[in-house]
Structure 1
Amino acid sequence: MMATAHPQLVFVHGIGGLRDAETERRQWLKALATGVRAAGQPELVSALTQGWLADVRFADYSDLFTAKGAQGGVAGEELDPSEEQVLAGLLEAMVDELTEQFPPESGTRDARIIEQARHQLDEASSGNQGVGGLGRRLVWVTTTLLQLPGLRQGAQWANAQAFALHLSQVARYLSRRGDKAALGAAVRSRVLEELDPVRPLVVVSHSLGTVVAYEALHEYEGPVALWVTLGSPLALGGVVLQRLVPRPPSCPERVGVWLNFWDRNDIVVGRPRLADWIAPSRTGVKAQTAPVKSAGVWTHTATKYLEHAEVAGPVVEALAP
């Protein structure tokens, strides 16, 4: 609980298209208020939504990706081989999670679609595809995956090209080579410029935003009362975990509490492995991981997570005076 200067609540988004920061801030705040009510604390909703409880910010870096993405292509520009491998790894993780939900032996249409996607992914990842060839073949995989009713109806992508383009943002952010490293630095700067080191801070990050927040908070010099990660790919082995900076991966030193939430139906998260594979800070803080359960196949949205009492309760408690 905070009893000093007016605290900050900062939202850090994940993959996707160009965003309107104020609209997103209101949507995330509305979902969080729903979760606060579910947590049995309706008396704090007005204080939260009116800004009395905290200064609520939405750290928007979406234009740093979409400016280059406007021309088309897998990511608006050809991915280098390392970035293509990250995109392939993300799709492989998604297919693995979907296979658990729809095993081949079930014989359902969904299971057949997933097996087709796996076959295409295996073909795309084998052999020499030439520059950009793997990226183009990975679009075939996303085309197949979007035949799944849950993804087609619940996800945010109009087509497979957009699906691949947005997933590739993870690869582009994690690129450390030459000029491309500047993109990651610019993204982190967008987050850090929203933070005031002299005030208490709660950070709620989602998807790629958890990777961004991980690295940004390692640079941050102010106190972080609570860091919440939602639908995080941080523990996706060689795809994300081994590319994090600093290495070896550890909890940022200024974080007081780290809560990580994953949904069983969220097909792009590392689930409980995050708590095992990222070391504690020098003060012993490490991720405390807990599952939540949402309806539907596609649960990888920040607002679905924020509506859960398990997520919203600790956030509002950390902000309350």
Structure 2
Amino acid sequence: MADGMRAAGHTTLAERLTTADASRCAFASYADLFSLPEAQGGGGTTAEGEASEILEDLLVELVAALTSEHSATEAPHDGAWQDRERILAHARAEADTSGQAQGSLSVLRRALNVATTLMALKPWSGVARWATPKLMVRDLAQVARYLARGEKDASGLTLDSRVRNRLHEALGDAPAVVVAHSLGTVVALEALHEHRAVTPLLVTLGSPLSMRTVVRPRLLPQPPRTPERVERWLNFWDKDDIIAVRPLLERDVLANTAGVLPRSSRIDSDGIWVHSAGKYLAQAAVAGPVAEALMSAEARSAS
């Protein structure tokens, strides 16, 4: 993010946040909560019970959204268009659960097959061919496990509650600019409904919130809306981010009583896996508004 701030012309603030004022930044880390070393796949790439069913539904909706986007293209039906059509048809067949073996291992294998097929939509080779599908399946599996609202600990807290508690600990009681990525956008939306302090700016990156048949109906509370204490919401999506297949959140989220809705903007990154938080944060369009919100908060405090 400091790189993105520098690119946006906020070099002084970027230097302060990486040195003297580093303590002002809190990272709500919860990756360890998804780690089940004894489970097949490890590293959070597992899905049991209802989470397994949600993962299957995520795959179907992901392929359906990409197919709809492809069908809506106005490009002539040339060779490239036909190749994309063939790849998506193959992915639809792989995602179809009818007649398929059930169980978490079968679902994970199917998910990896679908992800590998979808990677053929881009001219990637080498390391991208095996690394990117695994990253995609890991991220989708974690979304599925969070939304399953299960995996209780010894005290009876579900996995999603434990994840939100990490964010509450990071936020504390003071106003805060919140930057959320991927599953973190789901966590932030739900947690900020419970948060009493003002959020001057919420930034969401690579969000799956608008996956209408799987994610959106499972969000809490219903219907999905901007949290009351959020004053501004910016949402960013990359044209090649396969997780953010329905990127215009303002179409699927209601405004809070102040009329605040997400405002979605497209960015373009390069590289193997553009869904990564680092790719988004390094963009001036993303980091610039964060810097401006922090400086505005400083000015208010000084006055």
Q: TM-score interval w.r.t. the shorter chain?
A: 0.7 to 0.9
Partners of 1:196 and 1:149 lie apart in 2 by: 42
**Counterpart amino acid of residue 261 in structure 2:** K
Query: Quick check: 1:212 aligned with 2:183?
Result: no
Same amino acid, percent of matched pairs: 42
Could you say which residue in structure 1 is the equivalent of 2:301?
Answer: none
Deviations 1:201-236 (A, max 9, x none): 011011111011111111111111111001111111
CA drift at 1:239: 2.0
The Cα RMSD (Å) is 3.3
Partners of 1:67 and 1:104 lie apart in 2 by: 48
Structure 2 matches for 1:3-14, cutoff 5 A? none
**Counterpart amino acid of residue 112 in structure 2:** V
Q: Larger deviation: 77-86 or 152-161?
A: 152-161
Query: Quick check: 1:144 aligned with 2:117?
Result: yes
Query: Quick check: 1:76 aligned with 2:51?
Result: no
Partners of 2:85 and 2:210 lie apart in 1 by: 23
Could you say which residue in structure 2 is the equivalent of 1:66?
Answer: 35
Aligned match for 2:59, one of 83, 88, 91 = 88
Query: Quick check: 1:119 aligned with 2:103?
Result: no
Partners of 1:249 and 1:207 lie apart in 2 by: 17
| SS of residue in 2 equivalent to 1:248 | coil
Query: Quick check: 1:182 aligned with 2:158?
Result: yes
**Counterpart amino acid of residue 279 in structure 1:** L
Aligned match for 2:14, one of 45, 55, 58 = 45
Partners of 2:38 and 2:130 lie apart in 1 by: 14
| SS of residue in 1 equivalent to 2:25 | strand
Aligned length: 288
Partners of 2:15 and 2:268 lie apart in 1 by: 26
Deviations 1:15-56 (A, max 9, x none): xxxxxxxxxxxxxxxxx1111122122222222212427611
CA drift at 1:319: 1.0
Residue pair 2:185, 2:207 contacting (<8 A) in 1 also? yes
Could you say which residue in structure 2 is the equivalent of 1:316?
Answer: 291
From the superposition, tell whether residues 308 and 111 of structure 1 become closer, same or farther in structure 2 (CA, over 3 Å): farther
Aligned match for 1:287, one of 262, 266, 272 = 262
Structure 2 matches for 1:15-54, cutoff 5 A? 32-52=1-21
CA drift at 1:78: 3.3
Aligned match for 1:193, one of 169, 173, 176 = 169
Could you say which residue in structure 1 is the equivalent of 2:240?
Answer: 265
Structure 2 matches for 1:236-247, cutoff 5 A? 236-247=211-222
- What stretches of structure 2 of length at least 5 have no aligned partner? 299-303
CA drift at 1:286: 1.2
Residue pair 2:139, 2:183 contacting (<8 A) in 1 also? no
Q: Larger deviation: 259-268 or 77-86?
A: 77-86
| SS of residue in 2 equivalent to 1:310 | helix
Partners of 2:5 and 2:141 lie apart in 1 by: 33
Residue pair 1:204, 1:228 contacting (<8 A) in 2 also? yes
**Counterpart amino acid of residue 192 in structure 1:** H
